[in-house]
Structure 1
Amino acid sequence: MFKKSLLTLALAAAATNVMAASVIISGGAGTIANPEAYTMSSEGSANDTAVDPGGVSFDLDTAEAANYVGLQSVTIDITGATLTPATSGVIALTGNASDDVSAYTVTYPTTTQAVFTFTTPAGDNNDAGVDGLTLAGTPQLDITGLVLEYAASAVGSTVSYTITTRSDVGGALIETASAVILESVTQFSTATSNFGLVGLIDVNDGRLNFVDDSSSETATVTISSASADLLNAVPVATPVEVTLNGQFSFLDTDADGAVDAGFTLSGTNATDLTSTVVTGVAAGAPASFTVATDGTIVLKDQAYDYVATLEYNTASAGASTSSYSSAASLGSWALNGSSFTVPYMPFGPNTFPILSVTHEGTVAGAIFVEYMLEGKATATTLDMNGLMVQPGITDLRAVVMDAIAADVLADSGDTFGKVSVDITINAPEDQISAFAGFKVKHPTTLSESRVAIGTFGANGDLKLTDN
């Protein structure tokens, strides 16, 4: 029967953001219709020095209607950027407010400030400012045309506006508010889903197949382009290169440096078979890796990881190509094995544990140990440092029981009590058996007595099950 493991990496570029119509700064207690700032691609803006964030609206507080009758000026103070010579500020009144605010002058006292000063419209009562401004509904002042010098394109850097309105009565403050109106974001991101490279190799089947006898496994890596509002980077025609790292030498049984005939390893393989790479994949297309055997060779328990790169051009015309890169784990293939629990083992100054395991097979298996102390509700993993149980008889007293005692002593200073021990060995169940017991030495006569706890494993005959 032909057995295979299929490792698939699918990469896609997807736009997820839509350009905001306007950033709204709330000047009062009203609801903000669109509080989000504009986003700018950190990657795409790398070679740009100016950006026009578009419209920013100031949400006027209708509770200040009486004061807005004499609106005289609107000041915008900028943090995180400066005005460019291309700036040509424009202000307009929208919503259910009414009056003519088209008569104004705009000045730029500094490169971080714009001031709109209203002049007397024709037909009013010749008062200074905008006479008779009426607020109703959701009145807003819309500001456009402020072109910004924004060199700090690092992810997370921001630009803020503070908008202040003043009255024609001595320039008295009407209201003020601040908000972030522009934020630099990373345009590209990588996510993994369908995390499938977690196969459990069946040691009871000679490590030739997986426990569930599946013929394929799939993992998906997605490079997404969360399109920003401004200055987006543009992926080039064939931007994606994906390298899958792992130990694939098990596909080369004749040790000639190449995958054996009848077996499969997709991509361009490294000469030492520790990686394979697929190149020239268009954004949105899958980069697939297939590893296939005929079910007669031992599968390698190992961890997998990937490295993916995406080439793109910045927003500026003629800009040089750059690249986005990501790397992460894609899971691992592990071994199942023989598991058994020694439910009871006393330990103390006059107690000497006995624990040995017999491995009747021919392939060494890694050992994994967890223990639970008397009075505890959770198990603790004992670090076995990659210990392999070799065929034959192995004494586990020192490496397991003494290590547990030392572990407990280092943690609490108390080694008196009882412990339950769970042991897994990556070897077939019918090849593993174990014996557990303990000796007790009398503190004064030094005489010894031996107690058998039981034999364990598929070949064992469990004793003292009530303990």
Structure 2
Amino acid sequence: MKQIFKKTILAAAIAGLSNYAVAGEVINDTIKYSTEGLKTLAPDAEKTIESLAYELGANYIASDEITITFSPAGSLSSFDADGYIIAEGDVEGDSITFSLLSQTDDSVTFRVTAVTDNYDTTDTEVDFGAALLNVSSILADDVSVTYSSIKAGSDAAFDEGFEGSNTGVLTSTASQISAITVTDKFDEVIDVDSGRTQFEFSGEDSMTFEIENDTSLEDSAAFTNTYVEIEIQTIEDGEDLSFLSLNGEADYDDGVLYVDYSGAVTTDTITVDVNPGSHTSLVAQAFSVSAEYFDGEADEEGEDTFSAGEDVPAGEWTLNGNVVNIPYMPFAPGISQILYVTNSGDFDGGVYVTAYDEDGTEYDLGMVATAGASSVTKITAQVKDALAAEGFEKGKLSIDVTVNAPDGDITVQAAYNIGSDRGFVITDQYKKSDTYEMMP
């Protein structure tokens, strides 16, 4: 037989009120499990709630029944209870005895078999035994328990007063690892005057990531490895970055740098070192980072890996290219535009265009063309098509043209035709140079 919990003293606020009704109350605190920890277990694994503790909210007599129902359906694997359960009162000799009456897949029912004479069972705390729950059910949803009581010889419900709660959540789950965040992004500028062989400000760049690992959760996973992947999206065509030197162990494969850590790493600063002698030229890049944890205690299904976030923006490398502003360019039916970029240097350069209309609306058109080395590139159609794709077809614009090439190598020519008349636009290059030749 099992004996646990003595009857509590009534609160002073209700002392002496013999007809004061309260409801039974679930005493169990919710156990919050690690989602990752449970997933490393076998599919048919179980977790035990050691004692189902309930405070009676009414005066029970012999043959009253109390049913404990588990939700969702199928969450109860088995129930471990003695044939008789005795809960004692504050006064020596006072007790209430329950016997196990029946059990289904989702519930157990007890019947009161004995109550000490003149013993009011209200506020008595009872341990009804241990419940074994299916791990699969715990992972699927919160598992709750509900106590319901009926009077002896009838179906009349009782112990359902307005205070307390006869339903409680036994288990819940939470992810042990948070999504990866980037607190310090890659942000270097590639120096076009160096032939794109080095950064403008230093020889290295860094990115710092953070991941939370909440080991306070029940059955938290003990991760044995952390994998961080830095994906590189090339903004312009160029060589790969396999030549880069990284702190720590890293492998490069098809646009991704893989960093492997031992244990559960939650933060690190990854530094990229550029050696000018090991490559021909750097290109503009955008970076994103992904991470996953590996639990070494793999089951027969294979290794257990858990994502800590995918494709989180981690910064970019830009180029300190030439920027020319075209202060005025009209667009309307009957008006045609003339836009040329001349590159007199030895390096190709991506041409990026940003436009602003009379209302201040910005149209970031991205890279519209490549200005080849020692060549003239017409960008009229590309700019017009890109503007149309952004919903702009008529009005006046100010246009910034950025070319990733040394400043002295780039010239931008701008004009427009209205019928047989041509209007030449003076760009801000006039302020930078005494010599400027218009494209006919």
TM-score, normalised on structure 2? 0.70
Find the residue that maps to 1:224 and give its secondary structure: coil
- Which residue of structure 1 aligns with residue 273 of structure 2? 292
Match of residue 380 from structure 1: 363
* 2:97 is the counterpart of 1:108: no
Residue 394 of structure 1 aligns with an amino acid whose one-letter code is T
Q: Match for 2:410 among 401, 421, 432?
A: 432
Q: Write the mapping of 1:107-146 to structure 2, written as runs, cut at 5 A.
A: 107-124=101-118, 131-135=119-123, 144-146=129-131
Q: CA RMSD in A?
A: 4.5
Q: Deviations over 1:123-144 (max 9, x none)?
A: 32xxxxxx42445xxx866654
Partner Cα separation in structure 2 for residue 417 and residue 29 of structure 1: 73
1:210 maps to 199
> For 1:220 and 1:384, how far apart are their aligned partners in 2?
29
Q: 1:224 to 1:134 in 2, by over 3 A?
A: closer
1:102–1:48 distance in 2 versus 1, CA, 3 Å: farther
Q: Structure 2 counterpart of 1:111, which letter?
A: D
Q: What are the equivalent positions in structure 2 for 1:12-411 lying under 5 Å apart?
A: 36-39=30-33, 41-55=37-51, 68-70=58-60, 72-80=64-72, 81-85=74-78, 87-88=80-81, 100=94, 102-124=96-118, 131-135=119-123, 144-152=129-137, 155-167=139-151, 170=154, 171-175=156-160, 177-213=166-202, 215-220=204-209, 222=211, 224=213, 226-230=215-219, 232-236=220-224, 239-242=225-228, 244=230, 267=249, 269=251, 277-279=258-260, 281-284=262-265, 291-295=272-276, 298-304=281-287, 305-306=289-290, 308-313=292-297, 322-326=303-307, 327-329=310-312, 330-375=314-359, 377-382=360-365, 384=367, 387-391=369-373, 392-404=375-387, 406-407=388-389, 411=391
- How far apart, CA to CA, are the structure 2 residues paired with 1:32 and 1:437? 80
- 1:450 offset after TM fit, Å? 2.0
Gaps of 5+ in 2: 1-20
Distance in 2, Cα, partners of 1:31 & 1:454: 82
* Alpha-carbon separation, structure 1, partners of 2:404 and 2:340: 16
- Against the structure 1 CA distance between its residues 308 and 37, is the aligned structure 2 distance closer, same or farther, given a 3 Å change threshold? closer
Note the alpha carbon deviations across 1:64-87, whole angstroms, 9 max, x for none.
x6xx13474432111233444552
Q: Structure 1 residue 145: deviation in Å? A: 0.9
- Distance in 1, matches of 2:283 and 2:410, equals 21
Distance of 1:59 and 1:200 partners within structure 2: 67
SS class of match (2:42): coil
Identity %: 22
Q: Which moved more, 1:348-357 or 1:99-108?
A: 99-108
Aligned partner letter, 1:207: R
Q: Which has the higher contact order (CA 8 A, sep 6+)?
A: 1
Partners of 1:174 and 1:167 in 2: how far apart? 10
Structure 1 equivalent of residue 15 of structure 2:
none
SS at 1:217 equivalent? strand
For 1:149-199, what per-residue CA distance to the aligned partner results, in whole angstroms no more than 9, with x for missing partners? 34346x543322222244559433332754442234444455233342333
Aligned length: 392
Q: Aligned-pair distance for 1:113?
A: 0.6
Distance in 1 separating the partners of 2:364 and 2:91: 69
Counterparts of 2:354 and 2:100, CA distance in 1:
74
Using a 3 Å threshold, how does the CA distance of structure 1 residues 407 and 249 change in structure 2: closer, same or farther?
closer
Q: Is the 8 A contact 1:207 1:299 kept in 2?
A: yes
Q: Tell me if structure 2 keeps the 8 A contact 1:58–1:141.
A: yes
Question: Normalised by the size of structure 1, how large is the TM-score?
Answer: 0.67
